[in-house]
Amino acid sequence: MGGWGEYALAWALFLAGHMLPARPALRGPLVRRLGDARFALAYSAVSVAMLAWLVAAAGRAPALHLWGWAAWQAWVPNLVMPVACLLLALGAGIPNPFSIGGARADRYDPARPGVLALTRHPVLWAVTLWAGAHVPPNGDLAHVLMFVGFVAFGLVGMRALDRRRRRACGAAR
């Protein structure tokens, strides 16, 4: 399989691979069976493999150019990526009760929120900025769809996490 069919399948499995484990009915039994650390490791490995396949499938999709390339387009990721990398590093290294699974939520100190004072979802903002910055220099349809899809994925993910957190806080009262 190749072309648009492979690309569509890669997207479908990537999205399913990120939505299904977020469902408590699936995540709970997996975490109980594997443990938190092994679940996180397995989920991360599968996610990276699916991302690599999606990027490769975008490269193999038929080239349909939407716009030409200009030198200024290379500067967009050059200027945005330091911010995205900083958000990713800070977001990955701190306790965050607002992230998927509430990473180390027991160690979160609301009096010292760190980067969470700026955004509850620094990792998802990093993904959103990374993807948005890569749209201008990648003017073929497959890559535009991929990067715009990641922008949407990041923005929708933030809303979904906030909604889930509100439900959990409402249920705890």
Same domain membership, residue 86 and residue 57: no
Same domain membership, residue 171 and residue 113: yes
Same domain membership, residue 82 and residue 5: no
CA distance 51 to 78: 22
Same domain membership, residue 15 and residue 58: yes
What is the pLDDT tens value at each position of the chain, 173 positions in all? 678 999 999 999 999 988 877 777 888 898 899 998 898 889 889 999 999 999 999 999 999 999 999 999 999 999 999 999 999 988 887 777 777 655 566 676 677 777 777 788 898 999 999 999 999 999 999 999 999 999 999 999 889 888 877 776 665 54
User: pTM of the entire structure?
Assistant: 0.83
Helices within the chain (DSSP H only)? 3-19, 24-34, 36-60, 71-92, 122-133, 141-172
CA distance 82 to 12: 30
Same domain membership, residue 48 and residue 20: yes
Total domains present in the chain: 2
Domain around 12: 1-62
Residue found by looking up tokens 């599968």 in the block: 46
Same domain membership, residue 5 and residue 80: no
Same domain membership, residue 49 and residue 11: yes
Same domain membership, residue 154 and residue 79: yes
Same domain membership, residue 148 and residue 91: yes
